[in-house]
Amino acid sequence: MLVAENPVIAAESHHYYAGDGPPVETVPLGKPKREGPCPVCRTPLKTTAKNSAKCKECGTTADVKVLDLIVEKDVTFKDAVKFNLSPSVSAMKSWSPTPQGLKTYNQIQSYDAMIETFKHGASDWTWKKAAVERQKFLKDLTMDRGTQMHGYIQKALDGVEYKCDSIAQTACDAVCAWIDEQGVDQHHTERYFCNREYGCGGTIDYDGILTDGTRLILDYKTKQSHDSYEKLATSQKPFDEYIVQLAGYWWLTGGGAALIYCVPISQVTGESTFIHIPQDRVMWGKECFLANLRAWKQHKEYWPEDKYHSGEWTSSTRIKELILEASA
């Protein structure tokens, strides 16, 4: 029913998972294409032609061999259905009501983006578009830093050599020290899985086994704002969606006796706090997760488990082979 492995590089989240466990980020294009600048005027060219492409700007006919060959693309829901991929646990938490604090934070990000672009004198549609792009840039920057810190923590726990900045090192030291105190017998970092019975997959930041056999499950939540970190650390009350996500991880990987923690980490100082999720809240989160999963499938009219039961599904290995075949 379950497949779980330990990838080399940490990732914040993945949208879809193959039935054999690994996350799938890209799939082969239906028809390979070529992209690159015109050799004369540098205008961007895109074509599916096999021999030559004509630039609409200067009229130059370019050999497609000078353009980059593109054979894969990011996974969409349509691709997930085609290759029978499963949605992620993290996608299910978005079906829960957004916390007011998170709504406020997103609004502040929008206002900051508008103020920043307004300073540069842009107007009308250009200004609005620039504000949207600025907000996306800030969001991606936060996610990239979070992914980076996840990767450092993973390497520190697995004993892999790494170099990082002092803030990330503070986070690594704190997480490693806390885990050492718990008496862990074995562990998986960034453990990915796909539960073929429920048709859902995910990546657990840390899944360990204590010496008494109890599971230890951690989910890191890096915070761009130190104020956001302090509020969460002080209140000791994770957002409901965090609990739903952790409960989904726990349930889909076998459940059982477990200590489950939400771990907020400041991207500003590297400080971290370990917030225990009581069992009654875990059970509440499990029911919410299953309800969200059922609603998602009904809304999408897509039930991945049906293909798994019939044996008609595409492995992550086969998807990689298709991409390689397309590039040959």
What's the distance, Cα to Cα, between the start and end of the chain in Å? 35
Q: Is the pLDDT of residue 289 over 50?
A: yes
Average pLDDT over residues 276-304: 95
Mean pLDDT of 220-249: 93
Average pLDDT of span 166-176: 96
Output the pLDDT for position 10.
41
Is 97 a residue whose pLDDT tops 70? no
pLDDT band at residue 199 using 50, 70 and 90 as cut-offs? very high
Share of the chain above pLDDT 90, in %: 60
Task: Please tell me the distance from the alpha carbon of residue 62 to that of residue 103, in angstroms, as a whole number.
Answer: 49
Contacts of 186 (CB under 8 A, 6+ apart): 208, 209
* CATH pick for 2-16+96-320 out of 3.90.320, 1.10.3470, 3.30.450, 2.30.110: 3.90.320
3-state class (DSSP) for residue 211: coil
The answer to whether residues 64 and 49 touch, using CB atoms and an 8 Å cutoff, is: yes
Structure confidence at residue 56 as a pLDDT band (50, 70, 90): confident
Domain extents for the chain? 2-16+96-320
User: Model confidence at 65, in pLDDT bands (50, 70, 90)?
Assistant: confident
The CA-CA-CA angle for residues 325, 327, 328, to 5°, reads 65
What pLDDT does 311 receive? Answer: 86
CB proximity list for 59: less than 8 A, separation 6 or greater: none
**pLDDT at residue 102 in the model:** 56
Average of pLDDT values for 274-283? 97
Mean pLDDT, residues 156-184 taken together: 95
Most confident of 104-108, 121-125, 142-146, 261-265: 261-265
d(CA 2, CA 86): 13
The pLDDT of 205-219, averaged and rounded, is 96
pTM to 2 decimal places: 0.81
Whether the pLDDT of residue 236 is over 80: the answer is: yes
